[in-house]
Amino acid sequence: MTKTTFWEGMGLGVLAGAAIGIVVAAKRPDAMRDMRRAARRTACKVDQFKDDLADTMGL
């Protein structure tokens, strides 16, 4: 799991999912508000995950 190919694959998967989500959501009138809300929630979750991981690793 320390190999960079795993993280590259994870990053590509996240980007592909985000791109598909934007295309699908763009057809709805209130899509921009929902996307901003989802982006804010995702940023908070990633920040919490980063902090938890750093605590677990003892950094």
How many C-beta atoms lie closer than 10 Å to residue 18's C-beta?
Answer: 14
Length of the chain: 59
Compute the mean pLDDT over every residue in the chain, rounded to the nearest whole number. 81
Q: Which pLDDT belongs to residue 2?
A: 59
- Mean pLDDT over 44-53 rounds to 88
Q: Cα–chain-centroid distance for residue 42?
A: 6
Q: Where are the domains of the chain?
A: 4-57
In the numeric block, the tokens 């908070």 are attached to 44
Q: Which of 6, 1, 36 is nearest to 21 (CA)?
A: 36
Digit-coded pLDDT (tens) for 4-30? 787 788 888 888 988 887 777 767 767
